[in-house]
Structure 1
Amino acid sequence: MPWRQVAVLAFWVIPAVSTAEMYTWIDDQGVAHFTDIKPGEREHKQVELRRPSLIPMRENIRRGERVSTINRQINRSLEGDHDGNRKASAQQEARELKRKNARCAGYRERLERIQQQLRAGYSNDKGNRLRRQRREVSQKLSRECLLG
């Protein structure tokens, strides 16, 4: 019996939430306000709400890699360098890639060491420090290695 009441309640609440309207107006001091209640006498605009676009992280990374590849190709074609300069730039690019891969491997190793320390047990202070380090290294890894 309680499930039936929950179903009836959901039947009435969900459509009301999905049809919410959003309004915006600017007050006398130039501050923009947003609300879901119609502002009455004030001059206002109704905001059109769109569903957020969701791109999985892996697809986002692939797009970034494709854009980077396209940018490199465009830069090469715009430079119009001679073959010798192209070889030198290709070697330089290979060195940079090797450095980046080594740096990323270091981040991964450091992250794994921190994870092992967290799994092994810790005091509160050490745990907070390890979680902070894990967060920082993880951000560096994603920023420098995964996203670009």
Structure 2
Amino acid sequence: MPRITALALLVCAGLSPHAFAEIYQWTDAKGAVHFSDTPPEQGNHQPLDMQPMVTVPMHENLKQADSVSRSRRAVGKMLESEHEDRFSSGDKSAKADSCRKLEQRLKRIQAQLRSGYENDRGNRLREQRRELSRQHSRECILG
């Protein structure tokens, strides 16, 4: 039994060479900082201490997202039924159209944020998303 355990440990150690790889940092003559798993041939370099990666199981993220979605739907239904009697049918359809447009604009901005952007553009998009979210909350959720 000890031989099998020792053999299994050796195989595992041999299969994970990247777990023991070092990362080196150096600055070139132009002042640019470089990172690599092999030290440079010339110049002064220093090894970096890397912290182990933290991983979160994806199923936990999915369960949390489902829980948040269910909560949002429940709150939306409660608020909808609570404010339903405040509006006439014409006002309700206009409000529903306005809310749909706000939601579409929010989705477009979210898609743009996911697709990548420069810092200035990202800041503008996030500001637009915050303002539209506030407006959506005021007009569509809180009534």
Q: Is the structural similarity TM-score above 0.5?
A: no
Report the TM-score, using the length of structure 1 for normalisation. Answer: 0.42
By relative contact order (CA 8 Å, sep 6+), the higher-ranking structure is 1
